[in-house]
Chains A and B, each alone.
Chain A
């Protein structure tokens, strides 16, 4: 293969990238040459246009119309594009900024909290054995499968004096997503050679120092994956937010729910869709910038 590859590139004048994909994909799956080779790309693009293009165009077209034109959302292009005017009215009427900062206010501490506390626990669970710790691990990851008790959480928060507060919401999210972090990180910790810790320990570093200086930096890739997943869940969550902070704190999905619940009677589809575009933008931009890393991070843990 290594011998034939250079000549093949030279004669076919294909780029090294294409050549790599050809050698990676077997001849069995290689594309048919000629017009048949066009079927697959055309089918792929047509599927995307039909399945994704129609809903996305509906959103963009409707978000760019005025109220009377958007009364009944359809696929016709707006006669007068006013997307940015609609963005402006969403900012002033939909409490966009309040929702944005409210979402950040609960998401950032929750994510930091679960990453740090989850990694601390996972380090011990990954390094030490025994029946007791196996049981702790099983309990620690049970939250991946088990649904949170959403009604009694509200009761508990009232008893703690945290009902309707950002702190209460952060606690609830941390309780829900610690399991995910513990699960991901414990598996990862077991792949880190213990000798790396030993070296620091010989230099007289205590456990806290070893964790902060040696372990945490090594966990970067797995923590990045966990961050993406948990940000995705919290940024888009409306169900738990409705119970815990509904009506007391603004978050982007909560405000969308309010705008839309009122809008169902006022028929403000142009504002609802403008709001949807704005609230999706932060995650969308992050995704476009880091898509390779995000995709490989999400898929790496699933298929083994």
Chain B
């Protein structure tokens, strides 16, 4: 034991010189200056009256919180962000899994179609938003298609409903990213051992039974990654909503980042900071338990 200790004592010392800590310093310096300091500032300037209308910045207590809370914008933005994130997580995964199952076999057609579905992923989200704005106008292409299918004139205001527009925008968001989810699910399906499926098949399991009780549970790691990235991506969302609705109609799609951008543009910096802090807290409170829960589900298997 004693010799062991002295040996391990000697080894790390030589390793320490081989991997000097100063290699960490440049990365840490950038992280501290451009990431952690602004994040700490969030906790300070949310409690001030910082704005473009005067040069002095004074402490203002929880005024920003109470005013944002009492006029309803805080709760509305939180609610919109949450609903949007949940909708995107569900839709993006449903689309992605559907596509993966449809395109699972490794044929030439399927490979080409997979590549095509990845094109929206590499496009700018802002561009995708503008494309769908044109597509979803009351006199736009989607209503024209529906009109020629039904024979009657269709003028559904897809982006003008105070109830359903958030769902439509979430569908657009899911459309943009479903190619990525599809690829992750395809990779997950490939890792499943064929012998298990073969055995279940010989036992007389139907395709649906095999999917529900064997393949889907074994996809748990892919589900974890896809749900986590979809939730995080949509809580931080901005481009697609800004390009399609700008937060309307009537604030029903005004998520936190849209609010932050709008109030920042109006010069109300402290209020924008307050919402930025709310977003930070919301992601911190939600993301970690969600990821831990999904990881636990993987372990059960």
Contacts and interface: CB of A to CB of B under 8 A. Distances in A.
A236 B116 contact: no
Nearest to B207: A28
Interface stretch (A4-12, A50-58, A84-92): A50-58
Given A127-B15, A175-B34, A238-B124, A151 B260 contact: yes
B19 A26 contact: no
Given A75-B145, A175-B31, A295-B118, A146 B283 contact: yes
Nearest to B282: A147
Nearest to B194: A26
A226 interface: no
A59 interface: yes
A266 interface: no
Contacts of A121: 23-24, 26-28
A21 B106 contact: yes
Interface band, chain B: 35 or more
Contacts of A74: 140-141, 144
Interface in B128-164: 130-132, 134-135, 137, 139-142, 144-145
Interface band, chain A: 35 or more
B6 interface: no
A210 interface: yes
B33 interface: yes
Interface string A136-160: 1001100101111111111110001
A123 B19 contact: yes
A283 interface: yes
A303 B120 contact: no
Contacts of A117: 26-27, 30
A124 B20 contact: yes
Interface string A263-304: 000000100110010011001100110010001001110111
A43 interface: yes
A201 interface: yes
A24 interface: yes
A73 interface: yes
A62 interface: yes
Contact of A236 (B15, B125, B183): B125
B69 interface: no
A43 B102 contact: yes
Contact of B35 (A56, A148, A197, A243): A148
B239 A155 contact: no
A163 interface: no
Given A155-B45, A283-B122, A302 B222 contact: yes
Given A47-B113, A56-B119, A178-B31, 18 more contacts: A40-B105, A55-B135, A75-B145, A120-B23, A121-B23, A124-B24, A128-B19, A149-B276, A151-B45, A152-B39, A201-B18, A207-B19, A238-B124, A260-B243, A273-B130, A276-B124, A287-B118, A302-B221
21 contacts: A21-B106, A27-B201, A43-B102, A48-B117, A55-B132, A123-B19, A123-B23, A128-B15, A146-B39, A147-B279, A148-B38, A151-B45, A151-B272, A152-B276, A153-B38, A160-B33, A232-B122, A238-B126, A243-B261, A283-B122, A287-B119
